[in-house]
Structure 1
Amino acid sequence: MTSTADPAPSRYGQLRAQLDTLTTEAFRSELADIDRKPTQEIARIMNGEDGTVPDAVAAELPRIAAAVDAAAERMARGGRLVYAGAGTAGRLGVLDASECPPTFNTDPEEVVGLIAGGPSAMVRSVEGAEDSKELAAADLDALGIGPDDTVVGISASGRTPYAIGAVEHARSLGALTVGLSCNAGSALAAAAEYGIEVVTGPELLTGSTRLKAGTAQKLVLNMISTITMIRLGKTYGNLMVDVRASNDKLRARSRRIVALATGAPDDEIEAALTATDGEVKNAILTILGGVDGPTAARLLAEADGHLRAALAAAGQS
């Protein structure tokens, strides 16, 4: 006789048991009356909780650095950096990716954020999307992922099927894979070549991983994108010399960056930016290297965009 019992209770029971093992989902009985505390006391508790995140990130620095070096090597060959996650994790990936073009003058297709359910999921939950490994594979296939690309799966729990599916599929295509989670021994880290597990512990609100876990993920993504861009020559010291001057604030910042890098007077800075079509890195090279605009462009192209190498070449020419 065939059973007609609803399989849902069994399935949800298994998932509940799985969640019970995750530190990010743990219940903190000492905070059970937090809703009865004064607002300033709640703020103090939250601030104290947030203060533990940097130490958790610090414990993973060797793995973060190794992943960054591997990603930068591939991006130097023309590869892309792709983030894939659901919910908060996906939104953080999209945020980090969207900041790269104005900060580092990257093409929007060089650093890409994928969120389960597509762009509409940035502001409205798309039910069921995070549970699909197949959806992640389809999203990566739409990008034409290959061996020079890096795919970073992001999931606080480390069990989200979309993030795991992205990493598994990317790895099958020969891409570099990174798994960023906030639980030890996660399936996501195990699926990736580089597993980064920033264990932030139970949340103030049980299971609300947009809090400490979200903060940790943001810090790690900041490191991955920023240090990768430093390795790719997108900075000169700590100056954003590839900044895209797309508004008045950024145009003013461009002039300040050239001033900080060269110490030149305003009229010389304006002349250099005019001669280089507003390209900050090129303008700095014309001033410090004593070359004209076309020569600066050629030297930077030959140096793969690394200003220090171009300056060295200018001194030898």
Structure 2
Amino acid sequence: MSILLASTDFWEDMEVWRSGLEEAMPEMDINVYPDEKDVNDVEYAVVWKHPRGILKKYPNLKAILSLGAGVDHVISDPDLPLGLPIVRLVDKKLTHEMILHSLHWVLHFHSDQYLYRIQQQSSEWIQQSSIQSEDRTIGIMGLGNIGKAIGNSLVNLDFKVIGWGARPKESLGSIEYYCGHEQLADFLSQTHILINVLPLTDNTKNILTKNELTFLPQGSFIINIGRGGIINENDLINFLDSGHIKAAALDVFEQEPLPENNSLWIHPSVYITPHIAGQSNPLSAAKTIAENIRLIQNGEAPYPIYSLDSGY
């Protein structure tokens, strides 16, 4: 039995990932693509943006596990073997990073830091009126493990938090939940700061265009840490230009790396980070991946298995 590590993005970290998995699963042979030795021995593929088509080479593959929270890099492979569980990475350190990233931008916008920065450039001393956190509604699209963790952190800071997802969910405690396209407008119309944590699927691509963005209140904010392609970038720019959306913190984009000639780079109301909101920690994540592999070996279901339109 062996585990295959495959990535076109993490090559400089592959030895760290290998070491982490070897420590977590000393009984397994860990190979880094393309040095897989015997293709018949490979039972688990642990991947991030793997070379297209390679997974069909392994006849005894039992599961595909992602090195990150997203799996769009897996399901977009046209030669993906059918019928295998695809396991997302839900690791406490990755989740913690995404919470911190979200809190940073929520507080930045909530406390008018974006505006004070503009005032500083003009040497303006203007004190803005304070808004209490309980009077600010944070809307989260995608109430999976990460979305719920972000929401609970904001609830603990006395923000009002609401959520939206494609399907009904069980009780989310203090988070009021909306679901389905028929409730999207109601959700958006109450949202002062929108956090997107949705994965990119056929059903979520371009789910926020000018038609949906219109429902956001005047002067709202957007934080996108899910995937690019969910928010139509041209429509977003138009809403930023008009001031309907006051500012946006974007960590993910339709095309990555973001092209140098993309107008988002120089837009005065846009804050750009290079897809770093939730970076996987190899040592911590290796333990989580090992736990899921052992569940599969014991005939149990790994967690969480990818399902269409689930939030991160």
Same fold (TM over 0.5): no
TM class by shorter chain equals 0.3 to 0.5
Q: TM-score, normalised by structure 2?
A: 0.34
Larger Rg: 1
Q: TM-score, normalised by structure 1?
A: 0.33
Relative to total residues, which structure has the larger helix share, 1 or 2? 1
Relative to total residues, which structure has the larger strand share, 1 or 2? 2
